[in-house]
Amino acid sequence: QDNRLSIWSVGDLGNAGLSGEYQGEPQLLCDIRHNGDVMDMQFLDQERIVVASSTGTVTVFRHHQNNQTLSANQRWEKAHYHVDQDTSCGGAACTGVICNKPEIVTVGEDGRINLFRADQKDAVRTIDNADSSTLHAVTFLRTTEILTVNSIGQLKIWDLRQQRNEPSQIFSLTGDRVPLHCVDRHPNQQHIVATGGQDGMLSIWDIRQGTMPVSLLNAHEAEMWEVHFHPSNPEHLFTCSEDGSLWHWDTSTDVSEKPSFLHQGGRSTTYFSHNTINQSVVSAWLSNDPTKDRMEITNLIPNQTLSVNSLDILGPCLVYGTDAEAIYVNRQLFA
């Protein structure tokens, strides 16, 4: 009933002991009450955090580092709503938020997409009936394009420069309309996108071609809640699930000097892997069967039983939160 947004310091890597183990407990720096469940959040910059609420409101909190306090800096009341913004119970959960400073995009259970700009009171753009079903997650494809996933198995691209309220492309899982819960795009190869959904499958898409995933990989036994490419080593991907597992997908293992033939615009290009990091990655994620002798999959929490709801990753550091009301920090991903 009583929710909070908290900022923690998990210490500096400089404090690691000889074994690389971090010495010392995480410190709670500050926290603040939050109205509604926190559905998603993201840093906008060094001191501002954008938070999506189940009440439909989107709030920007400012972290004052000089005196370690949090304050609400800006708020868009009922950015998402079912009936109208004015009825007391009309809010619809805001399910996802993504920032590309100064722009903030939010999606919600009402199928609406909002584009806000930090420090502007009104939405810059709202696509009211963007989707007839719930939008579960959103990410930027480029500065002017976003990707959304919905509860009937569709991945859509929206060009924010276009005034019409239609997606520029629609991709979908074949047949069963399995809800998609999460999406991430490859940090260097922007046409490669990963999604996960209710059936626990990991789907890899190449948005330059076709409308279906390039590969469907058997993963978790229950809903996949989050998928992330490693921002600087994108041959590594991480997924977490309701089944209590968190998987590390590593395609960097055996990418020996096999050429891979990619047809781009009709001509075949030969890439030798490890030429550049990008090229080896392309061949791995987009090969017909990435798992075949090219991928190592490790469950990072083998005996967890409760849902792993969220994860994020930077450098050698993986952070994840579970239904055990605990947050875990793994600092030795590539040890």
Q: Per-residue pLDDT for 255 more than 80?
A: no
Which residue segments constitute the domains of the chain, with CATH numbers given?
A: 1-11+23-75+96-128 (2.40.128.630)
Binning pLDDT at 50, 70 and 90, where does residue 267 land?
very low
pLDDT digits (tens, 9 = 90+) for 17-46: 555 555 667 889 999 999 999 999 999 999
Q: Please give the angle made by the CA atoms of 113, 116 and 119, to the nearest 5 degrees.
A: 165
Which of 1-15, 16-30, 150-164, 278-292 ranks highest by mean pLDDT?
150-164
Read out DSSP for 179-194? Answer: PEEEEEE-SS-TTEEE
Share above pLDDT 90 across residues of the chain, in percent, rounded to a whole number = 65
> What are the φ and ψ backbone dihedral angles of 280, each rounded to 5 degrees?
-65, -35
Take residue 66 and report the two structure tokens written for it: 């000089």
pLDDT digits (tens, 9 = 90+) for 80-93: 999 876 766 678 99
pLDDT at 291: 57
> What are the φ and ψ backbone dihedral angles of 80, each rounded to 5 degrees?
-125, 135
Which residues, listed in sequence order, are joined to residue 16 by a DSSP beta bridge?
A: 22
pLDDT at 132: 92
Q: What is the mean pLDDT of the chain?
A: 85
Q: Per-residue pLDDT for 278 more than 90?
A: no
> What are the φ and ψ backbone dihedral angles of 82, each rounded to 5 degrees?
-90, -50
Which residues, listed in sequence order, are joined to residue 88 by a DSSP beta bridge?
A: none
Q: To which residue do tokens 């390039």 refer?
A: 214
Which residues, listed in sequence order, are joined to residue 131 by a DSSP beta bridge?
A: none
**Distances in Å between the alpha carbon of 239 and those of 212, 217, 264, 272?**
20, 12, 29, 28
Cα 158 from Cα 136, distance rounded (Å): 15
| 198 and 223 Cβ atoms separated by less than 8 Å | yes
Binning pLDDT at 50, 70 and 90, where does residue 13 land?
low
pLDDT at 145: 96
More confident residue, 222 or 258: 222
pLDDT digits (tens, 9 = 90+) for 155-197: 999 999 998 899 999 999 877 789 999 999 999 999 999 999 9
Q: Per-residue pLDDT for 262 more than 50?
A: no
Q: Per-residue pLDDT for 3 more than 80?
A: yes
H or E, element range at 22: none
Take residue 293 and report the two structure tokens written for it: 């002798």
pLDDT at 88: 64
Q: Per-residue pLDDT for 335 more than 90?
A: no
Q: Per-residue pLDDT for 228 more than 80?
A: yes
Cα 17 from Cα 178, distance rounded (Å): 46
pLDDT at 74: 95
Task: Find, among 149, 168, 150, 143, the residue nearest to 158 by Cα.
Answer: 168
Q: What is the value of pTM for the model shown? A: 0.85
Neighbour count for residue 259 (Cβ, 10 Å):
11
Q: To which residue do tokens 């050429």 refer?
A: 259
| 74 and 59 Cβ atoms separated by less than 8 Å | yes
273 burial level (CB within 10 Å; 0-12, 13-18, 19+): buried
* Mean pLDDT score, 186-211: 93
